[in-house]
């Protein structure tokens, strides 16, 4: 079993839709959770960073962490064609000097 499971998609939605991206994990020691957006042939860009359980909102993006279920989500409201990218979840036991474990990445396509 992989430490982090993420459906690779692709996920295709119409412009303006609400997008839900999810990851599950098996390591209960993970405490720091991140979502990255990666455009083709570019480095990952940090979208959301959360510690432990709870919700965090930033503009059109909302990140949720449920440590009891070992489940994290990223919601994108009013999706735009420019949101088309690969979304990677990542998590770590410590926030510093520690290995980031990534999900496989979900390819998102927003159609105009």
Rule CB under 8 A: say whether 97 interacts with other proteins: yes
> Which candidate, 69, 36, 33, 35, places its Cα nearest to that of 51?
33
Q: Find the distance separating the first CA and the last CA of the chain, reported in whole Å.
A: 37
Residue 80 CB, shortest distance to other proteins, in Å, is 21
Task: Give the H/E segment covering residue 73.
Answer: strand 71-76
Nearer of residues 16 and 54 to other proteins, judged by Cβ? 54
Which is closer to other proteins, CB of 20 or CB of 98? 98
Q: Which of 30, 36, 64, 110 binds other proteins (CB under 8 A)?
A: 36
What gap in Å lies between CA 79 and CA 75, rounded to an integer?
10
Question: Which residues would be at the binding site for other proteins (CB under 8 A)?
Answer: 32, 34, 36, 41-46, 49, 51, 88, 90, 92, 95-100, 102-105
């Amino acid at each position: 079993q992989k430490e982090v499971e993420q459906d690779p998609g692709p996920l295709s939605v119409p412009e303006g839709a609400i997008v839900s991206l999810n990851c599950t994990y098996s390591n209960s020691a993970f405490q720091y959770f991140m979502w990255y957006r990666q455009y083709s042939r570019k480095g990952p860009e940090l979208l959301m960073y959360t510690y432990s359980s709870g919700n965090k909102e930033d503009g059109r993006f909302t990140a949720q962490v449920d440590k009891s279920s070992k489940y994290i989500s990223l919601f994108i409201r009013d999706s735009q064609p420019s949101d088309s990218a690969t979304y990677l979840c990542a998590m770590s036991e410590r926030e510093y000097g520690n290995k980031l474990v990534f999900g496989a990445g979900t390819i998102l396509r927003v159609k105009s």
